[in-house]
Amino acid sequence: MNIDKKIAILTGASKGLGSAIATALINKGAVVYGLSRNMDALNELKNILGNSFHPVQLDITNDAAITQWVNNTFSENYIPDILINNAGVGSFHKIDETEADTWLAMINTNLNGMFYITSKVAALMKKKKESSHIINIGSIIGKVGRTEATAYCTTKFGVQGFSESLYIELRPFNIKVTCMNPGSIETDFLKTSGIASHTNMLHTVDLANTLIHILETPDNMLINEITIRPLNPKPPTH
Ligand SMILES: NC(=O)c1ccc[n+]([C@@H]2O[C@H](COP(=O)([O-])OP(=O)(O)OC[C@H]3O[C@@H](n4cnc5c(N)ncnc54)[C@H](OP(=O)(O)O)[C@@H]3O)[C@@H](O)[C@H]2O)c1
């Protein structure tokens, strides 16, 4: 796909990996609808990225709000070409210390939110002949287990299964689906769980560039899954 002038929806655009992906897409000439709950952060990003970035205050766990926004923004004459499901939350606890609210927050955001928006956007994408691309941000722990991560692992294994099923379902409609599984990323994501980020972790700009490469592959070629690890996951010793 040639990204120039393509219409992209990006969830979780306000910070971390999402803001790096927004920047990379805008640099390639895309029009980006960036979704998150924090409008101040989205507006700050718009000040940097310019008018091709459209801030959208939306909680992706709110199915009715997503339906309304998609219906008000897009139509058969204005169909998104790219959907990046990046919004996600994670916190890490022993099973007997995992509160139901914590469990539900991860399921609702990482799984239900992804379903709500993908189902509406895929219905539009199926109406056009030109290629479209949906990229779901999973995790390395959507492929292997980790102690004290049952809730998060459940959701990211779910992202993997969702993506695997979806690529088979949507390939006849010229819609690509990719599940991108990064290892630990140098963002604030792990900070709330007491895990400090460090420079050996993956850098958001490098992951955003890899995502651009996946989007730019020839129309007849699909990278349906990619796992990206830090070469050395341990913090630097000096
Ligand atoms: N960091 C890691 O080590 C790591 C590793 C592998 C995979 N991942 C995955 O990579 C993705 C991005 O993570 P990150 O490290 O960039 O995390 P981050 O810095 O915490 O950013 C998460 C983004 O998701 C948005 N978000 C959360 N809940 C939302 C909701 N209900 N509605 C709309 N937006 C919501 C946040 O925006 P608001 O708060 O403004 O709503 C924010 O923009 C996630 O899917 C995460 O699971 C992260």
Model confidence pLDDT, tens digit, residues 224-235 = 999 999 999 888
Fold of 7-228: Rossmann fold (3.40.50)
* pLDDT of res. 193: 78
What's phi and psi for 47, nearest 5 deg?
-60, -35
For ligand 1, is residue 136 a contact (CB within 6 Å)?
no
Within the chain, strands assigned E span: 7-11, 31-36, 53-57, 82-85, 132-137, 175-182, 225-228
Choice among 33, 116, 152, 167 that is catalytic:
152
Give 154-205 pLDDT, tens digit per residue.
999 999 999 999 999 999 999 999 999 999 999 999 887 778 889 999 999 9
For ligand 1, is residue 203 a contact (CB within 6 Å)?
no
- The answer to whether 31 and 7 are in contact (CB under 8 A) is yes
Is residue 51 pLDDT above 90, yes or no?
yes
**Nearest atom of ligand 1 to the alpha carbon of 17:** 16
- Mean pLDDT of the region 16-39: 98
Ligand 1 centroid – CA 208 distance (Å): 14
- Mean pLDDT of the region 219-228: 97
- Mean pLDDT of the region 92-100: 97
The span from the CA of 76 to the CA of 81, in Å, is 12
Q: Which of 15, 42, 179 has most ligand 1 atoms within 8 Å of CB, for mutation?
A: 15
- The answer to whether 23 and 8 are in contact (CB under 8 A) is no
For ligand 1, is residue 185 a contact (CB within 6 Å)?
yes
* pLDDT of res. 191: 83
Q: Is 152 a catalytic residue?
A: yes
- Other residues' Cβ atoms within 10 Å of the Cβ of residue 119: 13
For ligand 1, is residue 85 a contact (CB within 6 Å)?
no
Residues 6+ positions from 65 with CB-CB distance below 8 Å: 58, 59
**Nearest atom of ligand 1 to the alpha carbon of 19:** 43
Ligand 1 centroid – CA 17 distance (Å): 7
* pLDDT of res. 195: 83
For ligand 1, is residue 59 a contact (CB within 6 Å)?
yes
